[in-house]
Chains A and B, each alone.
Chain A
Amino acid sequence: MNNILEARSMNKKVELGKDNELHILKDVDLTIEKGEFVSVMGPSGSGKSTLLYNVSSMDRLTSGSVKFKGLEMVGLKEEELSKIRLSNMGFIFQDINLLKNLSVIDNVMFPALVSKNADKNAVNLKARKLLEMTGIEKLADNNITQASGGQLQRAGICRALINDPDINLETSRPEH
């Protein structure tokens, strides 16, 4: 199977008030193959983030289907969706979104350490390697308040990659 993600007839509506709803996604189809790099571009407010949140199960469709590696995600329980996100997906947010009480390296390690049988030393080694690859290994043990926005963005990338995800999803600002 080559398709990592297959989404069909995705519809997402949002209620703004009484008899007033906004139809953000209208019958959207999306297929992403293994190894493919996909960029979704559009003006602000066009529904790019909504698309990303729905294919990653962080939001629930009004109607439609999303299959991840052949498994239908629509209708799965929160716990099952969480497992898929933790083990198979990586996220990089435009607002960085690191945990403020953890250091840079702890932020990177955190998704890997949540699983019960994680080998802490192996995860630490891997995290340091990722930080080295992105050129921020010297900031590993710093609080996140002691890093610049760009450095934190790179830390976010490392965190997204720590569990060797099948797919990485990123929201970014136009200037990135």
Chain B
Amino acid sequence: MFWKIVKNDFARKKIITVAVSVFIIMAVILGASSTNIIANLIQSMSQLQKLSVPADITQMHSGEYDQAKIDKFTEQQHENIAMQETMVLQDLDGSNIHFGKNETMAGTVQDISFVMQNKKFDFILDLNNEKLNIKQGEVAVPIFFMERHDLKIGDTITVKSGGYLKKFVISDYARDYEMNSSMVTSKRFVINKIDYDEMLKKQAGKLEYLIEFKLSKNGNSQAALTAYMVAGLPANGPTVGAKIFMLFNAMSDALVAMVIILISILLIIIASICIRLTFQATIDEDLREIGVMKAMGISQKDIKKVYLNKYRVMAVVSGIIGYLSSFVVVNLFNGNMRLYLSSNLSGNLKYVLSLIAPLFVYFMIVMYCKKVLKIIDKISAVEALRTDIMESGKTRKYSFPLLKNKLFSTNIYMGLRDVWKRFKLYRLLIIIFAVSTFIVILPINMYNTMNSPELSTYMGIGKCDMRIDLRRTDTITQDFKKLQVELKNDSDIKKYAPYITCSYPVKNAKGSFDYINIETGDFDQFPLNYLSGRSPKGEGEISISYLNASKDGLNKKVGDQVVVIVAGTEKTMKVCGIYQDITNGGKTAKADTSLGLNENSILWYIVSMDVATGVDIKKKVDYYQNTYDSAQVNDIKEYTRQTVGSMINQMSTIVICGIVIALIIIILITALFIKMLLSKDMSQIAIMRSMGLTSKNIKHQYMAGTMMVLILGIILGVLASNYLGEFIVSMAMATMGAARIQFIVVAWQTLLLCPLALIVIVGFTISACCRVTVEDDLSVVLRS
């Protein structure tokens, strides 16, 4: 009997049933997709790590080195270190690599090197996650460049450098665990040993070394690294640990999963609000029925069961549809993972983990319905059957009389005052509009922030037009001095600042020493945004990155002291500021030039500059690149865009999905709400039409009320996405070193285009819904 009631109820209220079901399905799809992504991420990262066997410590170095000393060190550290291997990289500039129709890889921020496969560990794999085995005359191209230049298997690349000229056929793509991510600015092309030796003999590239260590089972990474530094072994490049590789590989997919989970939670909230809206709008109609059931002696539990069963059925059916659909939808989001981590995402973990979403949604919906249904307990049979008793005795003060209306037409005034009169009903709509606006605007803000030059502030780089990175060569010091002289005399350069980064031992919270990269120079020229404090201005001052300041790092705040060893001498520095930096594992520092250099551990030289007004940045970049061919010269916008390229691409997908989801929500909810209102107000509408109001007059009333609610919702949504959104994203990015993200808000998009688009869509939806219902036969309604 109850199931018959449920079935009839579905048939009577099709639109409501469909709308609520759609939201439940969307919530399940997104929830299941995000758990799917997380499951795939865990499995594919784990598998890739197992097959590629990445190093636990990678020390980059260029120049002279003694392998025998490294071997001796490895033996001495046998408790910590299981294996050691040195990979020799032959670095080439992008302009040396030709492909397609006279194109080169010039302009890339990536350091390009040609290598051959390692023997012991740190293997570079193909797209089937098998160790690359390259034949003579062939090359495996990193996935980054495959995407960037649309290179296909069978295409050729030609390497021209000095007297060296060689054509390679692309036979595979290189899936490189250590250097996959665009955040790692080095990429390895894999070639055959014979070709490699030939390139080496002809000195086609500059040599750089990856001195890599694989720790033993209980090996201590920090101890091994400290011992390496103390032993004075070659270390004039950055040191990277296993954790950083993992973080960079997972970063963009983890970010996508987080955003989808957030949207899924919002959709569950919307589905719950829909259910509450349905109850509130229809409970008056059902009041009499409930009264009749109670009068007949049917228990409250059984009455509630009628409503609960309806939503149970809806949640189960929608949950199944959502779960199955998620395996198709997830392909929209896991493209990056398929390419960079694993082409085969067929692990079983995702089928199990994805069940969490429909189960969670089912329990949330049922629990919420039980809470809302408590209203039935308060209804007595007599009160429900005699609604005149309920109405009388209410002595609410009458507000917004028609005479007070000075600004609007009577119909619009009626619509606006209706929002006040029935605010309990409309407030749910405000929340839904606010949430939908949030879903649209938050990803847009994130996308604009990632795409802006201001992103450099989260990479520890002050805002500037251009940046020159000098690579480690024998003439680097002379080149650096020569460059500064040239810049000083170049009238096209408005201002510039040189920076030198060295590795310094710094005393940590435990009293031992960690090696931290400290950049020295004048930081007033290109200031950073500081979380607290300011840039170092003179002797004895140091600013540190957020992660360095955290408990996991040096555990310092502004005003604390830090002991740094410079050329063998301890120097006590005062922390003057904390900034954000997501590069180099998030642990960097900056100090004034007066700190001095550790000559044996200079890592890199950088010059940041601004061009004069009207100067073409691209031409300037090209000029300095050609003049200093060992340097990497970049337009800073291009630099940041390339570094976070894959995250930007994924964010643009989320922007589109966010807009589509928000539009679906808004159209369905508006239609649902208007239909329910029109149904509830049927008799009142008939009275107005009998007096001579046209259907257009009545449409204006509902349009006015709903538009006002929409505008309120948009305002709330914009505020939430700008402020709450910033807070949420900052919390998420804090683990990567960016603890206070400030959105770049493009006003015409978020304050004009999006709100206008929402207003137009809601307007059309109301118009369409009103047209259908207001044409009902007037006399039939009046009689009923």
- A contact set with B: CB distance below 8 Å: 49-50, 53-54, 58-59, 78-79, 82-87, 89, 91, 93, 97-103, 105-106, 109-111, 113-114, 116, 118, 120-121, 124, 141-143, 145-146, 159
Contacts and interface: CB of A to CB of B under 8 A. Distances in A.
B402 A59 contact: no
Contacts of B782: 53, 58, 93, 97
Interface stretch (B118-126, B389-397, B456-464): B389-397
Contacts of A50: 779
Interface in B380-429: 391-392, 394-396, 398, 401-403, 405, 409-411, 417-418, 421
Contact of A113 (B394, B402, B694): B402
B398 A59 contact: no
Contact of A143 (B396, B417, B697): B396
Given A82-B689, A100-B684, 6 more contacts: A53-B779, A103-B401, A105-B401, A114-B411, A141-B401, A159-B691
B688 interface: yes
Given A143-B396, A145-B391, A114 B402 contact: no
B398 A114 contact: no
A97 B692 contact: no
A59 B778 contact: yes
Contacts of B417: 101
Contact of A58 (B421, B696, B697, B778): B778
B643 to A, nearest CB: 59
Nearest to A97: B687
B397 to A, nearest CB: 9
Contacts of A91: 690-691
Contact of A101 (B405, B421, B694, B779): B421
Nearest to B777: A59
A114 B403 contact: no
Contacts of A97: 683, 687, 690, 782
A59 B778 CA distance: 7
A86 B693 contact: yes
Contacts of A113: 402, 410
B679 to A, nearest CB: 16
Contacts, number: 95
Interface string B417-448: 11001000000000000000000000000000
Interface residues of B, number: 35
Interface of B: 391-392, 394-396, 398, 401-403, 405, 409-411, 417-418, 421, 683-684, 687-697, 775, 777-779, 782-783
A175 B401 CA distance: 34
B694 A120 contact: no
Contact of B398 (A93, A111, A142): A142
Contact of B687 (A78, A99, A109): A99
Contacts of B694: 78-79, 82-83
Contacts of B775: 78
Contacts of B396: 143
Given A82-B689, A99-B688, A124 B403 contact: yes
A59 B777 CA distance: 7
Nearest to A53: B779
B695 A78 contact: yes
Given A86-B692, A101-B421, A116-B409, A141 B398 contact: yes
A1 B396 CA distance: 50
A85 B410 contact: no
Nearest to B691: A111
B779 A110 contact: no
24 contacts: A59-B777, A78-B695, A78-B775, A82-B689, A82-B693, A82-B697, A83-B694, A91-B690, A103-B398, A106-B402, A109-B402, A109-B403, A111-B692, A114-B411, A114-B692, A114-B693, A114-B697, A116-B409, A118-B410, A124-B403, A141-B398, A141-B401, A145-B391, A145-B392
Nearest to B397: A143
A58 B692 contact: no
Contacts of B402: 102, 106, 109-110, 113, 120
Contacts of B394: 143, 145
A106 B688 CA distance: 13
Nearest to A148: B392
A103 B687 CA distance: 15
Contacts of B692: 82-87, 89, 111, 114
Contact of B779 (A58, A85, A86, A145): A58
Nearest to A49: B783
Nearest to B410: A113
Q: Which 3 A-B pairs have the closest CB atoms?
A: A86-B692, A85-B692, A59-B779
Nearest to B697: A114
A99 to B, nearest CB: 6
Contacts of B697: 82, 114
B475 to A, nearest CB: 85
A136 to B, nearest CB: 16
A21 to B, nearest CB: 15
A131 B212 CA distance: 97
Nearest to B404: A120
A106 B417 CA distance: 13
B118 to A, nearest CB: 79
A101 B418 CA distance: 8
A87 B691 CA distance: 9
A14 to B, nearest CB: 10
A85 B418 CA distance: 25
B414 to A, nearest CB: 8
Given A49-B783, A103-B401, A143-B398, A114 B392 contact: no
B395 A146 contact: yes
A102 B418 CA distance: 10
Contacts of A109: 402-403
A91 B686 CA distance: 12
A167 to B, nearest CB: 13
